[in-house]
Amino acid sequence: MVWILRPATLLPVVPEPLQQRPLAGSVLGGLANARLDLAKTLLADTDIPVCDIPERCGFESPNHLMRLFKRRTGMTMLQYRKGLLR
């Protein structure tokens, strides 16, 4: 708690808790979106094996990209690639 002095009065000031910003609005969210866009481009425009794409997009863990991709697109990376070939 912080006290602010005013003439003849002490007013308690309690800082509001820090609000978490949604991932999509943060710097890390922007980076994740850029990496996800790169993964989509590589899936659409190259024959790079799906298992090699996470590393090329800057993900340390292939599972991280696979979970993020599925959550954002509703399909796996292989399903996404196959859907583009139709």
Pick the residue with more confidence: 7 or 63? 63
* Calpha distance 83→18 (Å, rounded): 42
Domains, in order of start, for the chain: 27-86 (1.10.10.60)
Task: Give yes or no for a contact between 38 and 47, defined as CB atoms under 8 angstroms apart.
Answer: no
- In this predicted model, what pLDDT tens digit does every residue of 12-67 receive, in sequence order? 555 555 455 554 567 777 888 899 999 999 999 999 999 999 999 999 899 999 99
Q: Whole-model pTM? A: 0.66
* Calpha distance 20→2 (Å, rounded): 22
pLDDT, residue 65, reads 94
- Chain center to CA of 63: 14
- In the chain, the amino acid numbered 85 is L
